[in-house]
Amino acid sequence: MRYEEYIKTILDDYVNKGRILPGEFPDMELYMDQAAAFMNKKLEIYQKNENEPVMTKAMISNYVKHDMLPKPNKKKYSREHLAMLTLIFYLKGVLQVQEIESLMKPLIDNYNAEFAEQYDLLKMYGGIETLYNAQRGDIADEVHQDIDDIKKFLSKYENADDDAAELFMLICLLSMKADAQRYVVQKLMNEYFIG
């Protein structure tokens, strides 16, 4: 299989299975093992291998211990917990644990506050998901455009139609784009959450 076909397959998987929609969170509270099983089923495309789950009970315990996730209510995790767990999963790819703690602190403080007006965590999650969902298809288009641009660039040289050269350039280009977004995230974190 040429790499373009493989990229189409993984991008289709990502667009169709790479996220948990707000309506997919169960209406009932879950025990930790159920919460971990739910997260692993919904985020299985991110598994590096079938013996290594995406999320473990120990990870969830550590998120609670490090104030990245509110304490469960009578050992049960709500839809809000699952939404926050999902966000933590994505944040881990960009931020360090201490940075995630700083980012989540206002949400956790609000969640635990007795007299403050509570954030609607599911609405916030839904808003993030809606905005991101509107752009997911663009990601696939962008990657395909990058491939076309690389092929055009290489067609001027001896490396034209060389999969290794194309893949090298594509991986570097995608990494540089991801680094640019990571840079913006780091600057925002440092300015507004870490100080």
User: CA torsion sign, 184 to 185 to 187 to 191?
Assistant: positive
User: What is the domain count for the chain?
Assistant: 1
Per the structure block, which two tokens stand in for 46?
């991110």
| Cα(57)–Cα(5) distance, integer angstroms | 36
User: Which residue spans within 46-148 are E strands per DSSP?
Assistant: 76-77
Please give the model's pTM, rounded to 2 decimal places: 0.88
Does the pLDDT value for residue 42 go beyond 70? Answer: yes
Range picked from 1-10, 11-20, 130-139, 173-182 for highest mean pLDDT: 173-182
Per the structure block, which two tokens stand in for 51?
């013996």
Per the structure, the complete domain to which residue 87 belongs is given by: 3-194
State the pLDDT at residue 159: 67
Q: Please count the other Cβ atoms lying within 10 Å of the Cβ belonging to residue 96.
A: 12
Q: How confident is the model at residue 1 (pLDDT cuts 50, 70, 90)?
A: low
Q: How confident is the model at residue 105 (pLDDT cuts 50, 70, 90)?
A: very high
| 96 and 44 Cβ atoms separated by less than 8 Å | no
pLDDT in tens, 132-173: 888 877 888 899 999 999 999 998 887 667 889 999 999 999
